[in-house]
Structure 1
Amino acid sequence: MRTLSRDTAAVAAGVLAPFAAALVLVPLRDNVTPTNLALLLVVVVVAVAALGNRLAGAIGALSAAAWFDFFLTAPYQSFHIEDRADIETSVLLLVVGLAVSQLAARARTLKRIAVIDATHLERLHGTTRLARFSTSSDDIVRRVRAELTDVLDLSACRFEQGSLLGRPPRLDPDGSVKVQGWIWDLDRQGWPEGEIELRAVAHGRYQGRFMMKPAPGSVPPPLESRLVALDLAAQAAAALAEDGRTATPV
Structure 2
Amino acid sequence: MPRFLNRDVATVVAAVLLPLAVAAIIVPFRASFSNTNVALILVVIVVAVAAAGNRIAGALAAVSAAVWFDFFFTQPYERFTIVKAADIQTAVLLLVVGLVTSQLAAWARRLRVITVTDADYLARVHDVAALSQSATSAAAVITRVQEHLTDLLHLRDCRFEYGTLLGHPPRLEQDGTVTVGRRHWDVEQRGLPDQEIELRTFANGRFYGRFMLRPAPGSRPSLQARLVAVTLADQAGHALGVTAERGTRS
Taking structure 1 as the reference length, the TM-score comes to 0.61
1:109 positional shift: 1.9
Aligned equivalent of 2:233: 230
Change (3 A) 1:186 1:141: closer
Question: Could you say what the CA RMSD is over the residues aligned between the two structures, in angstroms?
Answer: 4.6
Give 1:185's match in structure 2, choosing from 168, 178, 182: 168
Alpha-carbon separation, structure 1, partners of 2:143 and 2:118: 18
Q: Which residue of 1 aligns with 2:101?
A: 100
In the alignment, which residue of structure 1 is the partner of 2:73? 72
1:205 maps to: none
Q: CA deviation at 1:227?
A: 3.8
SS at match of 2:38: helix
- Is the 8 Å Cα contact of residues 125 and 232 (structure 2) preserved in structure 1? no
Distance apart, 1:20 and its partner CA? 0.8
Counterpart in the other structure of 1:207: none
Give distance in 2, aligned partners of 1:69 and 1:84.
12
* Residues 171 and 94 of structure 1: CA distance in aligned 2, closer, same or farther (over 3 Å): farther
Identity %: 42
Separation (CA, whole Å) in 2 of partners of 1:91 and 1:157: 51
- Evaluate the alpha carbon distance shift between residue 72 and residue 154 of structure 1 in structure 2; reply closer, same or farther with a 3 A threshold: same
Once residues 7 and 117 of structure 2 are traced to their aligned partners in structure 1, the CA distance between those partners, rounded to angstroms, is 22
The number of aligned residues is 203
Structure 1 residues 16 and 96: alpha-carbon distance in aligned structure 2, compared to 1, 3 A threshold: same
Unaligned runs of 5+ in 2: 136-140, 171-179, 182-192, 202-210, 241-250
Q: Which 5+ residue runs of structure 1 have no aligned equivalent?
A: 159-168, 173-177, 200-210, 238-250
Aligned match of 2:46: 45
1:50-61 matches, cutoff 5 A? 50-61=51-62
> Are the counterparts in 2 of residues 42 and 97 from structure 1 also a CA contact under 8 Å?
yes
How far residue 231 of structure 1 moved from its aligned partner, in angstroms, is 3.8
TM-score (normalizing by structure 2): 0.61
- TM-superposed deviation, 1:48: 0.8
2:123 corresponds in structure 1 to 126
Rounded Cα–Cα distance in structure 1 between residues aligned with 2:90 and 2:81: 14
**1:30 to 1:90, Cα distance in 2 relative to 1, 3 A:** same
Flag the structure with larger Rg. 1
Q: Does the residue aligned with 1:82 lie in a helix, a strand or coil?
A: coil
Q: Does 1:170 align with 2:161?
A: yes
